[in-house]
Structure 1
Amino acid sequence: MPPFYNTWLPFIYLYGVGGIFFVSGLIIIRKSGAYNPNVKRHRFWWKITILGFFYFMLIHAALILAALYL
């Protein structure tokens, strides 16, 4: 099995550091007033954006696991 630093460390870095920038961007969007939670379309795309981040993270983790164990 490949070592931890060749498999999971890049994943943790990608979604850890990338997640910090992602959350920072969401905070900037909210503070700038670009997101209005009273607008149905804004709420829809807000949820899609957050769920999309976790969706790709789960797909990436599943593919890493498949490469390691299949």
Structure 2
Amino acid sequence: MILQSFFQSWLPFIYLYVVGGIFFFSGMYIIIKSGSLNPQKKHHKFWIKTLLGGYFFFLFLHAFLIISALYL
């Protein structure tokens, strides 16, 4: 039962945030290195924090909801 719930809930979660994270952070690296987002500018720093915060917010929200559904 526990192994089945792992493959149905946690494995897709891990895949989503690892593979998706690779694409997300690769894109962040590219836009920063190309100069599209300059971390020296205040307004650009806001958007970098917003993008990173959004990624981690949804990661933790998704994990919380899986934990709530499986264990509470």
TM-score normalised by structure 1 residue count: 0.92
**Aligned equivalents of 1:38 and 1:16: distance in 2?**
28
Show the counterpart of 2:32: 30
Indicate the RMSD between aligned Cα atoms, in angstroms: 1.1
| Equivalent in the alignment of 1:5 | 7
Letter in 2 for 1:13: Y
- Secondary structure class of the residue paired with 1:49: helix
Structure 1 unaligned runs (5+)?
none
1:48, 1:11 → 2: CA distance?
A: 22
Please say which of residues 52-61 and 36-45 is displaced more in the overlay.
Answer: 36-45
Highest RCO, 1 vs 2 (Cα 8 Å, sep ≥ 6): 1
For 2:13 and 2:44, how far apart are their aligned partners in 1?
A: 30
Match of 1:68 among 63, 67, 70: 70
- Stretches of structure 2 that go unaligned for 5 or more consecutive residues are none
Q: 1:63 Cα shift?
A: 0.3
The TM-score normalised by the length of structure 2 is 0.90
Deviant stretches of 4+, over 3 Å: none
